[in-house]
Amino acid sequence: METILVVNSGSSSVKFQVFGTDGVSALERLIKGQVSGIGTMPRLLARDADGKVMIDRTFEAAQVSDVSVAIQAAGAWLREHLNIAPIAVGHRIVHGGPDYDRPIMIDDDVLAVLEKLVCLAPLHQPNNLAPIRSIRARFPDLPQIGCFDTAFHRTHSVLADHYAIPEQYYLDGVRRYGFHGLSYEYIADRLTRVAPDVATKKIVVAHLGSGASMCALSHGRSVDSSMGFTALDGVPMGTRPGQLDPGVVLYLIEQRGMSPAAVQHMLYHDCGLKGLSGISNDVRDLEASDDPRAAFALDYFAYRVGLHAGMLAAALGGIDAFVFTAGIGENSASMRARVGEKLKWLGVDIDPAANAAHAELISRPESRVRVYRIMTDEEMMIARHTLACLLERSLRRSEHGRVA
């Protein structure tokens, strides 16, 4: 069986999965793992498809000091102990800019374009690209496919994409991109099986995790999103503020004397739930706390999710279903209930028992808007795109051979 490696890299961890494939359409998840604690307490942990631990190894901090070394450590284990030599590697890349509206085979030119977008996603893009460079250096002939979180949202209308600034900036790429597209794409596809009668209707999806955003779907396509030019916009997140008056940034620089770099660091690392609570960026910690600041942060999060749900329902001209997904959306019944209270005016009526049981359908039968809890799978989406790119390349080569 041939295999595809999927890499989802962050600043302190590299998540990876291995999928078996028949080379045509079938994909079977074989291994799910990650290297966490990079540069501090590195740990390589991987499980098989049944959840059985295959390796659990710790390293000295200096042994796995950065993302590139982490991917090498995981790759060495896959090759030397499991004899896995993937036919391709698929990568999650947060920002594709205006140029890439679909997955693409990565070469030097593509990599150069993606490097220019680092300033728009400084928390993600450098770490997304580091494994690509590392693998290219060691295995230059191994196909690598970039799958972009922005690509799914390229179906937005020009009205939804624009900011009210001079048009030249839009032409230069300053526009509303939207993010978490791989997650939304998976949910849109999953809905065709979970709820085929509503899958093509008006749906708001809430990808609520440490990074959070929301998306309006119509006929399975993105109509609008809470995030815009960067991954700072929209609903508040673990450490990011969400929607913010740009005048706040000007005030911090001009009146408080903060440098642009200091403001950027604060916006990406010290805001959101962490900034509001002063306790933690993790909803689990806040839900377990009796500190009133924790309760305020949770209430604020639910309030802003409710506001953006109304905005996205307006973009759709109505709403037929609401979907919770990602870490908070999938696992926090309390937060789902909080948000549900904010959405009653839209016709949402959550069933407390179904919600507490983490059921897939969590609304009452009489609820005008159906509410679902659906587990996302960005890695499966990346594997599908990677296989499709390989097949497309094979077809082009075949057609070129016939022409020649």
Name the residues annotated as catalytic.
149
- Tell me if residue 167 falls in helix, strand or coil: helix
- Looking at the DSSP bridge assignments, the partners of residue 19 are 4, 29
The residues, any chain, with a CB within 8 Å of residue 113's CB and separated by 6 or more, are: 97, 99, 100
State both tokens at 273: 């739930």
10 Å CB burial of residue 39 (0-12, 13-18, 19+) is: middle
What does the block give as tokens for 303?
């309030």
In the 8-state DSSP scheme, what is residue 297? H
Q: Which residue has the tokens 């059985």?
A: 52
Distance CA 233, CA 175 (A): 12
Distance between CA 323 and CA 381 in Å, rounded?
18
* DSSP for residue 63: G
Nearest-10 Cα torsion for 21, 186, 358, 236: 130
- Which among 95, 124, 182, 177 has a CA at the least distance from the CA of 386? 182
- Measured at the CA of 107, the angle between CA 404 and CA 177, to 5 degrees, comes to 115
Q: How far is CA 142 from the centre of its chain?
A: 25
How buried is 316 (Cβ within 10 angstroms: 0-12 exposed, 13-18 middle, 19+ buried)? middle
